[in-house]
Structure 1
Amino acid sequence: MTDLTTTHLKHLLDQSTPGPWETRDSGCITSQHGEVLWNADQAVDWSRNDHDVNLASAAPQLAQEVINLRDALGYLVEETRLAAENSDDVVVQKRVADAIKTTVAKIQGDHDE
């Protein structure tokens, strides 16, 4: 997946088993209630790598962090826009607003829904 919009991330989280998830020495990923969500030893065509298992177990927290960062960036854009609009210097208004908008769009990968 290369196009993870905020809506898509929220949908994935809504449909997944609630975290936090944990990795076990056996290569399993378990939910907060202990049920096995994924077993590396039984996965088909999977070359077991403990780092991959650890990353997979962090997926819910990573997705939520991306959502939180996008929300914070949206707030920053709006507050900066308001500050620029209240400035008497039109050049400052445009430069500040354009710089923040461009930077945020780059960080978000144009996924600000």
Structure 2
Amino acid sequence: MCWTVVQPLDEPMDLIEVWHLAWNVNGHACPAYPPMGAFSLLRRAEWVVKPLTDYGVPRSWWTWLGAAKAAGAAGLLVGLFVPVVGALAGIGPDRRTTDSPGTRPPPRC
């Protein structure tokens, strides 16, 4: 990873530079969310457990949900380094939900 010193801007950033900055911020911040969600669920954080209780999710499912989140986080990390896995993970859920016979898309609001 290349680290540079941030210097004040002498002139406004053009659209390409803004897009590049946003791409890098999202690319480095978003992979942190799935492991955080898995860890929070497995350690039974109150802000995660309360909505599950309110929605009526049985406690016996919580460990399995946390394990599924952790597996998704691991798959995300593998997909970052093995492009084929990342591409398959990206197209997998969409194909199963929209192309299955007998399913309808959700209604528009």
| TM-score where L is the length of structure 2 | 0.35
Decide which structure has greater helix share.
2
Bigger fraction of residues in strand:
1
Tell me which of the two structures has the higher relative contact order, counting C-alpha pairs closer than 8 angstroms and 6 or more residues apart.
Answer: 1
